[in-house]
Amino acid sequence: MKAAVYHGPRDIRIEQVLEPQIKGNRVLVEFRSGSICGTDLHFYRGEWKWLKKGRILGHDACGRREDTGERVVMVPTVNCGHCYFCLRGLPTYCTRGKFYGMTRDGFFMERKAMQPRNLIPITSDISDEEAAVVEPVALALRVLNHFQPNVGDWITILGQGAIGLLMTQVALMKGCRVIAADLLDYRLELAKKYGADAAVNPNREDIIKVVRQLTKIGSNFVIEAAGTTQTVEQTPFLVRKVGKVALVGESQGYLNLEDADEAQFFTVYLSPIEYPAAVDLIERKLVDVKGLITHKFKFDEFQKALQTADNPAEKPLRVIITQ
C-alpha cells in the first residue's frame, strides 16, 4: 500500500510500505482525507531535524473503519492512562506517550491499524474534507479553555494562518474582542470576515502601539500562532500585567519580562481531550473549517501538495489530501 515517507528535508516520497498488522483490539481504518499541518512543513523545510528518516507523516485525518464501515476522525496521540500526568488529566504529557506522524508512523497511508479509543465517529453533517481539519480546532479549544476569558476580554492573536484563524473564531465564540495580526493581507481579510475587531499588518503598523491604543492597558491574552522567534519576543509588550500568553507556533526566543508583571507564559500542545468537542463544533457549523481549505490534492500528488502548502504565492491555508 502507499504511504508518505519522510527521507529528509524536501524529500518526502509516496512509497509502497507493508500492510499494517492487526493486533489485540486494533481495527483497520481506510484513509479518506487528511490535511498538511505547519508541523509537517517544519519537517519538510528542515527546520525541525529530529524526525526519524522512514517515518510516515500525518496527524490530522479521517477514515472509514473496515470492520463497521463507520466514518471516523483519528486522534493522533497514544497515552498509557496510568502515569503521573495521565492520572491528572494531562494525557498530552504522558511519560510513555506517542504522537502519530512524529514519534510513531502517521496517517498519510492508505490503511492504518488503530485502537478504537482513538477513533471518533462522525455523522453525515461533516464532510471528509472538514473532518481532516479537526486538530487545529481542538488546539484552539485547549488554549481558550486554559485562558478562561470573560466576555469582552481582549485577545491578540499573532498569525492568521489556519490555526490562528480558528483561534480567532473560538475566541469570538467565547465573547472576546480579537486583535488579529499577520503579514499577509488575504489572511487579515478572512479574520475580519470572521469578526475580528481589528486586523493589523505589522509591516504597515506598529502592533505594540495598536494594541496599547485599543486595550489601554494591554491585551488580556496573547496567542503566538505565527511560529517565529520575533513574534515570541513581542508577546511581553502586548500582554497586560497579570495576563496570559500562549506560545503555540514557536517557543524559542528571548522574553523581556521587565513590564510583564505576573503575566503567565506557557507552551501549548495537542491534547486528545478536546477532540470530541472540536468534532461537535464542526458538525454543528459553529466554526468554519471549510472556508480555510484552499487546495485539494490526491494521494499521488503529495509532493505537489507540500510545495503548494510551502508557497506563499499560492495563498495556502489548509491543504487537503484525499484518497
- Write the pLDDT tens digit of every residue in 168-185: 999 999 999 999 999 999
Cβ atoms of 268 and 248 closer than 8 Å:
yes
Q: Give the CATH number, domain containing residue 96.
A: 3.90.180.10
The mean pLDDT value of the chain amounts to 94
What residues make up the domain containing 316? 2-133+289-322
Close Cβ partners of 306 (under 8 Å, ≥ 6 residues apart): 12, 36, 40, 41, 44
- The rounded Cα 230 to chain-centroid distance in angstroms is 20
Same domain membership, residue 141 and residue 129: no
DSSP H or E run through 105: none
Q: How confident is the model at residue 321 (pLDDT cuts 50, 70, 90)?
A: very high
CB 226 within 8 A of CB 191: no
Residues 261 and 220 in one domain: yes
* Domain contains 187: yes
Check whether residue 198 and residue 296 sit in a common domain.
no
> What pLDDT score was predicted for residue 251?
84
Q: What is the CATH number of the domain that holds 186?
A: 3.40.50.720
Task: Indicate the pairing of strand 198-200 with strand 264-267.
Answer: unpaired
- CA angle, residues 281, 299, 292, in degrees to nearest 5: 35
Q: Which residue has the cell 472538514?
A: 130
Q: What is the pLDDT of residue 261?
A: 93
Count of domains in the chain?
2
Same domain, 157 and 192: yes
In a domain, 28, yes or no: yes
* Residue 165 confidence (pLDDT) above 90: yes
Instruction: Say if residue 205 is in the same domain as residue 219.
Output: yes
Q: How wide is the angle at C-alpha 251 spanned by C-alphas 42 and 248, nearest 5°? A: 75
**Whether residues 62 and 40 fall in one domain:** yes
pTM here is: 0.94
Alpha-carbon distances of 58 from 6, 104, 175, 194, 218, rounded to whole Å: 11, 10, 33, 28, 38
pLDDT of residue 141: 96
Same domain, 236 and 313: no
pLDDT, position 323: 85
Is the pLDDT at 23 greater than 90? The verdict is no
Tell me, what's the pLDDT at 252?
85
Domain for residue 278, yes or no? no
Q: Are residues 147 and 259 in the same domain?
A: yes
Q: Is 288 left (phi over 0), alpha (psi -120 to 50) or beta?
A: beta
Q: Does residue 246 sit in the same domain as residue 141?
A: yes
Query: Does a structural domain hold residue 275?
Result: no
125, 143: one domain: no
Write down the pLDDT at residue 48.
Answer: 79
Q: What is the pLDDT of residues 195-230, one digit of tens each?
A: 999 999 999 999 999 999 999 999 999 999 998 999
